[in-house]
Amino acid sequence: MKGSAFCMSFCLWVGILLLSFGSCSEVAHEDDVKCLQGIKQAVKDPLRKLNSWDFGNTTVGYICKFVGVSCWNDWENRILNLELRDMKLSGTVPQALEYCYSLQILDLGGNEFSGTIPSQICTWLPFLVGLDLSNNDISGSIPTDLAKCAYLNNLELSDNSLSGNIPHQFSSLNRLKKFSVANNQLTGTIPPLSAQMENADFAGNKGLCGMPLGKCGGLSKKDLAIIIATWVCGAAASLLLTLGLWWWYRLRSSKSRKRVDGNGGDEHRAEK
C-alpha cells in the first residue's frame, strides 16, 4: 500500500510539473506572438511587407512562416531571428520587442526608423548576438546600457544621425567582432574594443579620434597633407618673389652704373 501511495504521489507531482512547464512555455510563446503584433501595429509599412503576418492562423509554429521571422523550432512560436531589412519601415524602434525575449538577431537596417535607440533594449533582449540599426535616421546618443548585451558579436549603427561619444563601457564587450558607426555625428575618443577596428567603420565622424583614426590632439593624414602642401606652395611663392626682387635689383643697379659711366665720359670730353 505504501509503495502504491508513493508511486501515485510521485506521478501526481510529475504531472503537475509537466503542466506547469507547458503553461510557462505557452505563455512564453504567446509573448512572441504579442511581440510581432505590437511591431506590426507600431510601424508604418508603405510597401505592405508585413501583410503576411496573419494572426488569425493559430496552428503550431505559424509565426515561423512570417516574412523576416526565424524560429528556434518549427513546432513552437519562439522567435530566434527577426530580420526586417530594406522594407522602408518607419517609426521608432518598437517597444513591443520586449516580448521577444529569446531573440538573438535583430536586423532593422536600411529602413526609415527615427527617434533614439531604446536604452532598455538589452533588458528586453538579453541574448542578442547581432544588432543592426544601420542606414536609418536614428538620432541621439549611443546608450551606455548597450554594453549590457554581453553576447553581442555584431553591432551596426552606421549611417544614422547619432551624436555624442562612443561609450567607454563598450570595452567590456569581449565577444564583439564587428562594430561600425561610420557616417554619424560622433565625437571624442574611440575606446579600445575587441572588434576588428578598421578606418571605414569610423569614417564620416569629424569629431572622432583615436585608433584606427588619427591621434587625439594630433592631425589627421588629410589635414597634415593639406598643411604640407600649403607650406610647399608658400615656400615656392616666397622663393619666386625673392628671385624676382633680386633680378629687379640687379637690373636697376646695372642701369645705374651705365648712367654714371656715361656721365663721367661726357665730363672728360668737355675738359679736353
What's the pLDDT tens digit per position in 190-237?
999 988 889 999 999 999 999 888 888 655 555 545 545 655 555 566
Whether residue 127 is predicted with pLDDT greater than 90 in this model: the reply is yes
pLDDT of residue 211: 85
Most confident of 39-48, 64-73, 205-214, 238-247: 39-48
pLDDT of residue 121: 98
Alpha helices, H only, 43-167: 121-124
Taking alpha carbons only, the member of 50, 25, 39 closest to residue 102 is 25
% of the chain beyond a pLDDT of 70: 69
pLDDT of residue 225: 57
CA atoms within 13 A on the CB side of 56: 3
pLDDT, average across residues 231-244: 63
Whether residue 99 is predicted with pLDDT greater than 70 in this model: the reply is yes
pLDDT band at 165 (very low <50, low <70, confident <90, very high): very high
pLDDT of residue 13: 45
pLDDT of residue 214: 82
62 CB-near residues (< 8 Å, 6+ apart) = 77
Model-wide pTM > 0.85: no
Most confident of 133-137, 235-239, 252-256: 133-137
CB distance 119 to 142 below 8 Å: no
Whether residue 108 is predicted with pLDDT greater than 90 in this model: the reply is yes
- How far is 180 from 200, CA to CA, in rounded Å? 8
Whether residue 150 is predicted with pLDDT greater than 80 in this model: the reply is yes
DSSP code at position 44: B
The phi-psi region of residue 91 (left if phi > 0; otherwise alpha if psi is between -120 and 50; otherwise beta) is: left
- How far is 101 from 235, CA to CA, in rounded Å? 65
Q: What are the cell numbers at 177?
A: 567582432
Where are the domains positioned within the chain? Answer: 20-217, 219-272
The CATH T-level fold of domain 20-217 is: 3.80.10
